[in-house]
């Protein structure tokens, strides 16, 4: 299986010259194409820091990150921006939609930056609006949408440039229970039917319950890394 994310000995230290704070310690991970993975742990465990480093939004103090086979930790800022634009989709806790643009225009925005042809952009936007169930809301601006609808637009926007994977940082944190479940069902459907890779940072048990791999961080260290098949094997073992 293709590895879309590889991290080797990632360390992140804040304030190294005064009072050092170790956010991440010796993180070695491999994420394969098609995974639906949740990174969990208590507040301050390093979840968001790890996601930001994988996504090229932050740099490790030590260690290397490969995305789609390319080492990104030493890329200069302009190359890193270009790489993120084409390879990585982001979904944040705050929806980060552009207020003056409609749902359709928000989804199309990254493709405009990629200079994709108009016909291709229109086709892709309509596909994604249908996938997230918002065809009838395409001309609405963010203020005219509910929180759940805005996050669905954010997911569609992240998927628009056909990235290698989606990084979702607490995507359900600002949603009510029904909206969160609907959003997660949409993402899981895309994962199962289209093979889209999702990596979540989350406290939400609903995300954890749907994940097929759960990586637990404690004090910046990987405390456990469990796949669904491992859980099933353990549960099916006879008592001794």
What are the residue ranges spanned by the domains of the chain?
3-91+164-236
Asked if residue 240 has pLDDT above 80, the reply is no
DSSP symbol at 220: T
Residue (of 165, 161, 216, 157) closest to 191 by Cα position: 165
Question: With contact defined as beta carbons under 8 Å apart, do 66 and 56 qualify?
Answer: no
Asked if residue 232 has pLDDT above 70, the reply is no
Q: Is 226 helix (H, G, I), strand (E, B) or coil?
A: strand
Please give the CATH architecture assigned to the domain spanning 3-91+164-236. 3-Layer(aba) Sandwich (3.40)
pLDDT value of residue 77 = 93
pLDDT value of residue 231 = 58
Among 8-12, 111-115, 193-197, 233-237, the minimum mean pLDDT is found in: 233-237
Confidence of residue 239 (pLDDT cuts 50, 70, 90): low
Chain centre distance of CA 127: 20
pLDDT, tens digit (0-9, with 9 covering 90-100), for 158-210:
999 999 999 999 999 989 999 999 999 999 999 999 999 999 999 999 999 99
- Please, which contacts does 147-152 make with residues 24 or more away whose CB atoms are closer than 8 Å? 147/95, 147/174, 147/175, 147/176, 147/179, 148/175, 148/176, 148/178, 148/179, 148/180, 148/182, 148/183, 149/103, 150/95, 150/97, 151/91, 151/95, 151/175, 151/179, 151/183, 152/182, 152/183, 152/186
Higher pLDDT: 230 or 184? It is 184
- Radius of gyration of the chain measured on its C-alpha atoms: 18
pLDDT value of residue 234 = 47
For 163-208, the DSSP string reads: -SEEEEESTTTTS-HHHHHHHHHHHHHHHHHH---EEEE---HHHH
pLDDT value of residue 88 = 94
Please give the mean pLDDT across all residues of the chain: 92
Burial of residue 130 (CB within 10 Å: 0-12, 13-18, 19+) is exposed
Question: With contact defined as beta carbons under 8 Å apart, do 152 and 186 qualify?
Answer: yes
Q: Tell me the pTM.
A: 0.90
């Amino acid at each position: 299986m293709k590895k879309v994310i590889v991290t080797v000995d990632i360390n992140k230290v804040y304030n190294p010259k005064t009072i050092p704070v170790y956010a991440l310690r010796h993180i070695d991970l491999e994420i394969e194409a098609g995974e639906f993975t949740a990174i969990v742990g208590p507040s301050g465990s390093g979840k968001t820091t790890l996601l930001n480093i994988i996504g090229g939004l932050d740099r490790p103090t030590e260690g290397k990150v490969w995305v789609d086979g390319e080492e990104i930790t030493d890329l200069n800022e302009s190359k890193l921006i270009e790489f993120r634009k084409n390879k990585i989709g982001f979904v944040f806790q705050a929806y980060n939609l552009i207020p003056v643009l409609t749902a359709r225009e928000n989804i199309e925005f990254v493709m405009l930056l990629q200079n994709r042809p108009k016909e291709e952009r229109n086709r892709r936007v309509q596909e994604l609006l249908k996938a997230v169930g918002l065809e009838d809301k395409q001309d609405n601006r963010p203020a005219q949408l509910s929180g759940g609808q805005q996050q669905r637009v954010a997911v569609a926007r992240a998927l628009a440039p056909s990235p290698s994977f989606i990084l979702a940082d607490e995507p359900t944190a600002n949603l009510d229970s029904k909206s969160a479940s609907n959003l997660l069902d949409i993402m899981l459907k895309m994962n199962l039917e289209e093979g889209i890779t999702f990596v979540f940072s989350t406290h939400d048990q609903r995300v954890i319950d749907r994940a097929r791999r759960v990586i637990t961080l404690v004090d910046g260290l990987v405390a456990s890394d469990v796949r669904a098949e491992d859980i099933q094997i353990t549960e099916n073992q006879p008592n001794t």
